[in-house]
Amino acid sequence: MPGTFLGITDKGLDVKKGWFDMASLDYSAKPSENTVTAGCPRGRCVHLDTLGKFVPGPHATGCAIFLLNGTDDADVSNPGTTTAGSFAHIAVAPTGKMSGLVATGGYEIATTEFVSDGKTYNPGDALTATKVGPGAAVAATDGQLTPGTVYHHPIVGVVSSGVSPNHNGVSSLSFWSVWLPAGANAAAPWDGTVA
């Protein structure tokens, strides 16, 4: 939703180890139209669609990417007004592109974007990301990290130190990025649904 200004500390992705140097692996792309409509904050897990655009949530075989900026960030979308219609000039030149860290990179990451209701995250637990279903539909919660089952869900990370407040006092999940596609051993072909 262009025009929604989040506090700079509300959503985030902090790279604790492994970034930034010349060997770091990142990727930039524009969000899909459905992603812009639903909104996708920094810290979420995305993948590339067939047009090379970011879509929230994991893909059965396409590599996961963790967003460094979101659809409402001023360097992605800068409508020049607040949701109330007031002028709010932010001196940037938005290109519409978002950037993120590719899950195959050697990173330890802390994200605010994880499912906290009724979930536990212990060191060594496999992680996937939420996706409401197959196709182009995008839900507002797609791309949040959640526990995953190896060889059934695409695995995007492994819990390192678990959940704790980040430097802004916001609850964050710390993990190491990995990429393991959904396997042929799944009960059925993975359809994108994570309960």
Nearest to 193, CA basis, from 45, 39, 59, 51? 59
pLDDT in tens, 65-78: 999 998 888 778 77
Percent of the chain with pLDDT over 70: 82
Distances (CA, A) of 184 to 43, 149, 188: 29, 13, 8
pLDDT in tens, 24-55: 788 999 998 887 777 889 999 999 999 999 99
Sign of CA dihedral 152, 137, 48, 97: negative
Backbone angles phi, psi at 99, to 5 degrees: -135, 160
Kindly report the number of other CB atoms within 10 A of residue 55's CB atom.
Answer: 26
Q: Are 104 and 78 within 8 A, CB to CB? A: no
pLDDT score at 138: 81
Nearest to 100, CA basis, from 33, 159, 19? 19
User: Which of the pair, 191 or 164, is modelled with greater confidence?
Assistant: 164
